[in-house]
Amino acid sequence: MIDIEALQKYSLFGGLLPEQVAVVRGLLTYEAYEAGEVLLAEGQANDRICFIVEGKVEVLKNGQSLVEVGEGETFGEMELLDVMPAIATIRALTPVGVAVMANRALYRLSHEDLRIFAIIVMNLARDLSRRLRRMDELAVKGPN
C-alpha cells in the first residue's frame, strides 16, 4: 500500500488535505522494477505520471544520461498532459518502486472531485514551469 504521508512529499499533492490525498491514493497503482530495467522508453506511448517511492532512476535522451532522480521525484508529467510519446527513457539504477496515476484516473478525478483535480493540475503546471525556467537558465548559460 502507498502511504499517504509519503505522497504528501510530492509537490503535485501540495495544498491537499490528508483525506484528499487518500482519495488520490485510491486512483494509484504500484509497480516494481529491478535495476537495469527500462520503466519507460523514449518514443513509447505514455499516458501516466509516475511517483518514485523508492530507488533511483536515470533519465536518458538519445542514449545519453541527462540526470538521476530518486524518491520524491516524478516523471511522465509532460505526456500525461499532451498525450505525446515519451520524450526520454527512464531506466532503473537500483530496484525501484513507483506509484502510478494514469491519465484515465486523472480524468475520473475531474468528474468525482473537481477541487482535488484543480489543485493537482495547478501543481502540475507549477512543476512544469519550474522545469522550463531551469532549462531556460541552462540554455542561456551554455556549456561550461
Task: Answer yes or no: is 115 within a domain.
Answer: no
Among 64, 61, 74, smallest CA distance to 101 is for 74
Phi-psi region of 141 (alpha: psi -120 to 50; beta: other; left: phi over 0): alpha
List beta partners, residue 100. 29, 50
Q: Per the structure, how many domains does the chain have?
A: 1
* β strands within 55-121, DSSP E: 56-61, 64-70, 74-75, 89-92, 96-102
State the pLDDT at residue 72. Answer: 83
Task: Answer yes or no: is 114 within a domain.
Answer: no
Burial class for 69, CB neighbours closer than 10 Å (0-12, 13-18, 19+): middle
User: Edge-to-edge, what's the strand order for the sheet holding 96-102?
Assistant: 29-33, 96-102, 48-54, 74-75
CATH of the domain at 59: 2.60.120.10
Task: Answer yes or no: is 53 within a domain.
Answer: yes
Among 4, 7, 15, smallest CA distance to 116 is for 15
Residue with cell 490528508: 18
pLDDT in tens, 67-89: 899 988 888 888 777 778 898 99
Task: Answer yes or no: is 127 within a domain.
Answer: yes
Please give the chain's pLDDT, 144 residues, in tens.
577 777 877 888 888 999 999 999 999 999 999 999 999 999 999 989 999 999 999 999 999 998 899 988 888 888 777 778 898 999 999 999 999 999 899 999 999 999 999 999 998 888 888 878 877 887 788 665
Task: Answer yes or no: is 62 within a domain.
Answer: yes
Nearest 5°: CA angle at 24, between 76 and 11? 55
State the pLDDT at residue 73. Answer: 86
Task: Answer yes or no: is 132 within a domain.
Answer: yes
State the helix-helix crossing angle for 18-25 and 103-112, rounded to 10 degrees. Answer: 130
Provide the residue range defining the domain that includes 25: 4-103+120-141
Predicted TM-score (pTM) of the model is: 0.83
Task: Answer yes or no: is 109 within a domain.
Answer: no
